[in-house]
Structure 1
């Protein structure tokens, strides 16, 4: 990923961290559309409110008319984006739905009329306290362009989904469970944050490259991170990194 793309990602992460309410989350989704040339974006969160019978959290860039229509028709009960997406561990491309039937055909036909893109991707997030999140984005790109877009930005989308979910959890009062990293895990992450490779970290710390990779893998696991970049971002946001510098 080039420097400009990295700057775009970290600008988005900073905006997420500074979000103070639902309106800020929706503005963030608007900015993601502009950043990545998307058609629409939506975030759905379940199990994140203090009240057990609370409605799912929803932030969207859709028109109010479409949101009202969606609720009136109770499309959530048959929408494969939700039915399949919340059960998944890996990102779900909407092309995986297969043949749509009955009311689902109507749902996606109307979605297009209300401005949703022809292609979609949903990224699930599974929290440690039973909470779940789903970031869904759509695009009007052609098939080959869409596949290229996913290859380039899939990491961004997964990182952003995790951070949006974490921020909404905090806004809704669901306390995070802090991770505890060992001194060696923190050392490795600190050098990664400064742009060093695993090989360079090993040379600096006097460890084997295999050992450094094991420390980084352990840190990613503890932080629920999908990459070293993601782990650095989470550790920095939660105050684990640079707190002694």
Structure 2
């Protein structure tokens, strides 16, 4: 991604991804060129959270499940020096094994040693700050970091695009999990209503009575928590029933 056109293509490919796993794969196809074939992306949880609560802050990852479980189970978040740096002033952090920073505690040294057993030996942590001011860390790692300092900006830009798309897909998935379930007929009626068709016109199109079309629209409106047809259509669009 060394040219403007390549950057645009990368961003376009990410936007075309319809699953977080696809975003992760596309992002890693770029970072692997620099020896970074593992990634963990998430927000920084507060201190004192249990393992499952910590894992809930992960947006996407390709860490071995065994290592992720061990990391949160041992509460290594509490002694991870890279986490402290991100919290105290978000900036890119290249690191190399137990020599990531001077003055590491014995527990932090043990953490880096254990990570190396999972081929997580060197890496780069990139912060991405959302419009709301939330810091999302992108932790890239592999067996050997092979990147010129001037190219870190390239990965920072790529990370921003990847995080943005992953957040969009995460929100879409959340909405779909919590959205009310419309019947097939209710979806048909609300889609025709979005095109400005009246209850009578919808009944003629679908081959049902006007009373039945009114009933389906009323049911859809109730499920969507709307007070009128315009709001029902708007909510159906927001929830993905109308594209």
Give the drift of 1:159: 0.2
Q: Do the aligned partners of 2:44 and 2:135 also contact (CA within 8 Å) in 1?
A: yes
Give the drift of 1:157: 0.8
Task: Give the structure-2-normalised TM-score.
Answer: 0.56
Distance 1:159 1:44, change over 3 A: same
Query: Counterpart in 1 of 2:136?
Result: 133
For structure 2, which runs of at least 5 residues remain unmatched after alignment? 46-52, 173-243
Query: Counterpart in 2 of 1:192?
Result: none
Give the drift of 1:113: 0.5
Query: Counterpart in 1 of 2:89?
Result: 88
Separation of aligned partners in 2, 1:39 and 1:15: 19
Say what the alpha-carbon RMSD is for the aligned residues: 2.9
Identify the match of residue 151 of structure 2 among 150, 153, 157.
153
Give the drift of 1:131: 1.6
Separation of aligned partners in 1, 2:24 and 2:18: 11
Residue pairs, 1:6-85, within 5 angstroms: 9-45=7-43, 55-85=56-86
Which of the two has higher C-alpha Rg? 2
Number of residue pairs matched by the alignment: 161
Q: Do the aligned partners of 2:37 and 2:141 also contact (CA within 8 Å) in 1?
A: yes
Distance 1:108 1:46, change over 3 A: closer
Query: Are 1:124 and 2:127 counterparts?
Result: yes
Q: Do the aligned partners of 1:29 and 1:41 also contact (CA within 8 Å) in 2?
A: no
- Find the residue that maps to 2:171 and give its secondary structure: coil
Give the drift of 1:63: 1.2
Query: Are 1:105 and 2:109 counterparts?
Result: yes
Q: Do the aligned partners of 1:86 and 1:124 also contact (CA within 8 Å) in 2?
A: no
Give the drift of 1:73: 1.1
Task: Give the structure-1-normalised TM-score.
Answer: 0.55
For structure 1, which runs of at least 5 residues remain unmatched after alignment? 48-52, 175-245
Give the drift of 1:140: 3.7
Q: Deviations 1:64-88 (Å, cap 9, x if unpaired)?
A: 1111111211112221222222442
Distance 1:86 1:150, change over 3 A: farther
Give the drift of 1:2: 5.2
Give the drift of 1:27: 2.0
Give the drift of 1:104: 0.7
